[in-house]
Structure 1
Amino acid sequence: MTVDFQTWMRAVWTSIMEPSESARKALAMDIPVQALWTGLALVAVLNVILVALLQLLSPAPLAMQEQAFALSPFGFFAIISIFFVLFVYGIFYAGRMIGGQGTLQASLTIVVWFQAVSLTLEAIQFALVLISPAIGSIFGLLTLGALIWCFMNFINVLHGFDNLGKALGAIVLALIGTALISGIILAVLGVGPTGGMA
């Protein structure tokens, strides 16, 4: 299946404006697990690139920039990849804990789809920052709210919840679990903001 730029932007728009319907369509595609893991790795790589570019344009203090870039691209990729993988499992198990019906494959589909949408909006923000940092910052704040709403609806559909409160609960539990476990793993691997895995 070939997806051109216009088709993808319509899909992103639908994901924001009609997140529940978009989630159902994504799950109905029944994408193979191997392709989904490859997609997750790809969005991780693209996230590293975009975050690095945004940091270069950020008016953050020099000391903070030096600390951020002390971590090698490989280390940065390791952090994001570990977080993404654990978050997939976190969404799956957290949803199941509170009565959800989503499968691991479906959880992976939703996370990859959401990250692709988020990455697209990050790319738009990057373009806006080049034009005007103020406009880029405003766009970032607006999209943050839209993405939270979008992901809540995605999780609601994924696990078949009857309200968004349960979806929010699953997201919070997944984030807490992911942060704790990824923190332990990264500490063991020696990956941190002050260097490592160069």
Structure 2
Amino acid sequence: MDLSLSTLLSLARFTMQNPREGARMVMRANLPMVARWVALALMAVASAILAHLAFALMPLEVRQAMAGAMASPLTSALMQGGLMLGAVFVIHWVGRWRGGAGRFEDALILMVWLQFILLILQVLQIVTQVIFPIASVLVGYASVGIFLWLLSNFVAELHGFRSVLMTFFGVLLTLLAIGFILALVLIPFLGPVA
């Protein structure tokens, strides 16, 4: 598979137009497992760099309020990598539990590919943040919608599910369940709310 930037951007555009076929093409590339892990690490680092760049462009009061969360690019990269890896396991396990046939290594490369497309949107958001700040909020909302749409298609293709709509509802329910569990786990550590 040609991994030049122009080829990857063309494939990203094609994936936006036809997500399931794009996912098939990425899985058919049959990259070695080591390359998939390296790609995951690269996406985590690139995402952290872009997040810190976007953070540096925010107004001072916003930066002061979020200073703790954005203390170090290394911490951000580790957190991003951990979230991506956690998502790979959830996509693989929940899909298999629901009767899917997806392989872990394909879930891994599809998560990397999804993150690559999200990085393109992140760059677009940073550019609009500089040129027309209000539009960057709209790009952010659009990115969330695109993320859910692509994720649903990728999960459906990975596991051989026919209905993207039913997969979408499954993705939403899974996200809600994870959010609920995390809230239960974190509430004791947050202390009383003022």
Shorter-chain TM-score tier = 0.7 to 0.9
Name the residue aligned to 1:66: 67
Aligned to 2:192: none
Q: Which one-letter code corresponds to 2:51 in the other structure?
A: V
* Structure 1 residue aligned with 2:108: 108
- Residues 71-90 of structure 1: pairs in structure 2 closer than 5 A: 71-90=71-90
Partner Cα separation in structure 2 for residue 65 and residue 115 of structure 1: 23
Distance (Å, rounded) in 2 between the aligned partners of 1:177 and 1:46? 29
- 2:13 and 2:38 map into 1 onto residues whose CA distance is 24
Partner of 2:124 in structure 1? 124
2:81 maps to amino acid: S
Deviation at 1:10, TM superposition (A): 1.8
Q: Does the CA contact (< 8 Å) of 1:95 and 1:167 recur in 2?
A: no
Question: Structure 1 residue 149: deviation in Å?
Answer: 1.1
* Residue type of the alignment partner of 1:23: A
Q: Name stretches of at least 5 consecutive residues in structure 1 with no aligned partner.
A: 187-198
Tell me by how many angstroms 1:21 deviates: 0.8
Give the Cα–Cα distance (whole angstroms) in 2 for the partners of residues 167 and 76 of structure 1. Answer: 30
Q: Is residue 92 from structure 1 mapped to residue 98 from structure 2 by the alignment?
A: no
Task: Work out the CA distance in 2 between the residues paired with 1:103 and 1:18.
Answer: 21
What SS class does the counterpart of residue 66 from structure 1 fall into?
coil
**TM-score (structure 1 length as normaliser):** 0.81
Q: Which residue of structure 1 aligns with residue 190 of structure 2? A: none
Q: Is the 8 A contact 2:148 2:168 kept in 1?
A: no
Deviations 1:74-119 (A, max 9, x none): 3222221211111111100010111111010111111111111111
1:26 equivalent in structure 2: 26
Counterpart mapping for 1:41-60 below 5 A = 41-59=41-59
For the Cα contact (< 8 Å) 2:56–2:63, is it kept in 1?
no
Residues 62 and 162 (structure 1 numbering): CA distance in 2 closer, same or farther, change over 3 Å? closer
Return closer, same or farther for 1:3/1:104 CA change in 2, 3 Å cut-off: closer
165-174 or 134-143, which deviates more: 165-174
Q: Which runs of 5+ in 2 are unaligned?
A: 187-194
Q: Deviations over 1:107-134 (max 9, x none)?
A: 1111111111111111122122121112
Aligned residue pairs total 185
* Aligned-residue CA RMSD (Å): 2.6
Is the 2:100–2:159 Cα contact (8 Å) retained in structure 1?
Answer: yes
Q: TM-score, normalised by structure 2?
A: 0.82
Distance in 1, Cα, partners of 2:83 & 2:58: 24
CA distance in 2, matches of 1:16, 1:149: 9
Whether the 8 Å contact between 2:88 and 2:108 is mirrored in structure 1 is: yes
Which structure has more RCO (C-alpha within 8 Å, separation ≥ 6)?
1
Please list, as runs of the form range in 1=range in 2, the aligned pairs for 1:166-177 lying within 5 A after superposition: 166-172=166-172, 175=175
1:177 to partner: Cα distance: 7.0
| Post-superposition offset of 1:63 | 3.9
Task: Please report how far the alpha carbon of residue 169 of structure 1 lies from its aligned counterpart in structure 2 after TM superposition.
Answer: 4.7
